[in-house]
Amino acid sequence: MGVLWTVTTWVLQALMISITGAVVLYTVYIHYQHRKYAHLPGPKRRSFFLGNLGEVIENKTKGIYFLQLSAKWRKEFGSIFVVHLLHNVIVVVAEPAIVKEVAFNNENKKPETFAQSLGWMFGQRIGGRGLFTETNHEKWSMQRKLFDPAFRKKYLLGLLGIFNQCADEAVNYLSQFGDGKIEVKMADVCGRVTLDTIGKSTFGMKDLNVIADPDNKLTKAISYVFKAGSILFHNSIIAEYDPRKAMRELRNNVRDGGSLIRKIAKDAIFNRMEEMKRGEDTPNDILSFILRASESLKESLNFGLEEILDEFVTFFIAGQDTTANLLASTILCLGRYPNIMERLKQEVDEVIGDKEDITQNELNKLEYMARLFKETLRLYGPAGGIHKICAKEFIACGFRIPANTFLMLHHQAMIADEQFFDEPDKFDPERWINEDRRRMYAYFPFGLGPRSCIGQNFALMEAKVVLAKFIQRFDISLVPGQSFTMITEVTSKPKDGTLCYLKSRKH
């Protein structure tokens, strides 16, 4: 008994010493971080350990997310300022010249924590090391060069038939609600039509058919991934071990959802490979590009099945989410501003009329719609900025920025500044009639530099077809009382899901 008591005492003492040592080291590290960035302006830290985290959480409960809060801080502290979140330090950059310098410098890498939060979730591989999550620039650039041809205009124009088909299926589904009396959550419908479109047009998934199925497991799996991605990015340790029931359920749903997404991807890949082996004619789509690229990358990057799945999942999820959020946010703005809705309706009626298929000729003539999307992306773009780790120390606006600093190039802070946009709070598509040099490097909804979004032209073309079909067939009005704010789950989206009433139009 005496020996057991002695051993137990030693263990407890060792444990206490370890805990005390860890706390001391953590305290020293936070003090080091505070001193390292003490020369930069920024909001006052409310707590030594928490930094500005308490204020961030407090504002989030009021519906003010970090993007909006940091845009407010920009007006108070200037174009360069620092934010402390526990031991993490974010230097916010909202100056076009510095944005350009950082974004186009290939030595500056995407943060590893950002890649990890979307690459692997709770032990489940999701995006792995795809184009969106790969942080090694040399490896990433080799992959990007091989996939670029799949997003050129010539290829995209060949997808117009599928864009029209999926948009028609969405219109047919919505026609059951066309009496103007039933609430429709258009964000969900936009999510399903974009998921169906990207599945059929780029991966040959002919039997996906999720538009008329609000309860399909794939859509839910993707929503779990985006919700978890946001939590992991900001609180990875807490998210991994939070014992609360809601977090336990989310972890299980993400693991199951990630497994489902990759299984669907694997089935599509194996089906295409079998078709190729049999010598059948296969579409020249993104899936074919991925499979051909895998042969080229097999030796140089050890590119195997898991890496092929990474690329599939990256294109599949990112392509669906970006376009869906753009459509949902645009419809929200149209409902909010009836005069803009009428102007768009007039253009759609003049350019498309009763035509069933929208061609390249009609797309080119939808000039007001193009300006409408630009303005929506300005105020409600899916991404609020670009995240980088600076490779070397540099000077920004007179301030020394240490090497290996986490930088947030803040798109949302600059689009709300009169220095770059006249009447920035006004929703005005007409501001895009003429180019304005002030906007260069202040407006980048699809990113900047070599890592700008590879699918931006795909997203805009698909969005034009879908919105034109919606406007052609329905009068759309918003359900009163809903919020016009955005929530952030990796990307930004309408908080209430763009609740609408639809009334069928007569032609």
Task: Dump the DSSP string for 4-28.
Answer: HHHHHHHHHHHHHHHHHHHHHHHHH
Mean pLDDT (whole number) for 290-294: 78
Amino acid 301: pLDDT:
63
Kind of pairing, strands 491-494 and 486-489? antiparallel
Mean pLDDT (whole number) for 340-367: 95
Amino acid 89: pLDDT:
93
Amino acid 4: pLDDT:
66
What pTM was estimated for this model as a whole?
0.90
Structure tokens at 493: 């989206």
The answer to whether 91 and 77 are in contact (CB under 8 A) is: no
Question: pLDDT by residue (tens digit) across 409-449?
Answer: 998 889 888 889 999 989 999 999 988 888 889 999 988 88
Q: How confident is the model at residue 45 (pLDDT cuts 50, 70, 90)?
A: very high
The answer to whether 500 and 402 are in contact (CB under 8 A) is: no
Q: Alpha-carbon Rg of the chain, whole angstroms?
A: 24
Cβ neighbours of 63 (radius 10 Å): 12
**CA 381/CA 377 separation, integer angstroms:** 4
φ, ψ of residue 493 in degrees (nearest 5) = -150, 160
Q: First and final CA of the chain: distance in angstroms?
A: 92
Residues 6+ apart with CB under 8 A from 414: 94, 96, 99, 420, 442, 443
**CA 400/CA 197 separation, integer angstroms:** 47
* Higher pLDDT, residue 117 or 162: 162
Residues 6+ apart with CB under 8 A from 257: 217, 220, 221, 222, 224, 225
Residue spans of beta strands (DSSP E) within 206-287: none
Mean pLDDT (whole number) for 315-332: 90
* Higher pLDDT, residue 1 or 208: 208
Share of the chain above pLDDT 70, in %: 95
Mean pLDDT (whole number) for 272-286: 83
Nearest CA to 34 among 93, 92, 82?
A: 82
**CA 280/CA 282 separation, integer angstroms:** 6
* Higher pLDDT, residue 185 or 121: 185
Q: Does pLDDT of 131 surpass 90?
A: no
Instruction: Output the average pLDDT for the chain.
Output: 88
Q: Residue ranges per domain, the chain?
A: 37-504
Computed from CA positions of residues 61, 62, 64, 69, in that sequence, does the dihedral angle turn out positive or negative? negative
Q: Is 350 exposed, middle or buried (0-12, 13-18, 19+ CB in 10 A)?
A: exposed
Q: Which string of DSSP letters, residue by residue, matches 127-153?
A: STTSTTT---HHHHHHHHHHHGGGGSH
Mean pLDDT (whole number) for 336-355: 95
| 37-504 topology per CATH | Cytochrome p450 (1.10.630)
Q: Does pLDDT of 480 surpass 90?
A: yes
Nearest CA to 314 among 150, 48, 119, 159?
A: 119
**CA 252/CA 258 separation, integer angstroms:** 10
Structure tokens at 286: 């993104």
The answer to whether 132 and 318 are in contact (CB under 8 A) is: yes
Mean pLDDT (whole number) for 476-481: 94
Cβ neighbours of 312 (radius 10 Å): 25
Amino acid 148: pLDDT:
83
The answer to whether 473 and 175 are in contact (CB under 8 A) is: yes
Q: Does pLDDT of 104 surpass 90?
A: yes
Q: How confident is the model at residue 159 (pLDDT cuts 50, 70, 90)?
A: confident
Classified as helix, coil or strand, 394 is: strand
Q: Is 300 left (phi over 0), alpha (psi -120 to 50) or beta?
A: alpha
Beta bridge partners of 125: 120
Q: Is 320 exposed, middle or buried (0-12, 13-18, 19+ CB in 10 A)?
A: buried
Residue spans of beta strands (DSSP E) within 39-141: 80-85, 88-93, 120-121, 124-125
Nearest CA to 190 among 327, 381, 315?
A: 327
Mean pLDDT (whole number) for 363-391: 91
Q: Does pLDDT of 110 surpass 70?
A: yes
Cβ neighbours of 200 (radius 10 Å): 22
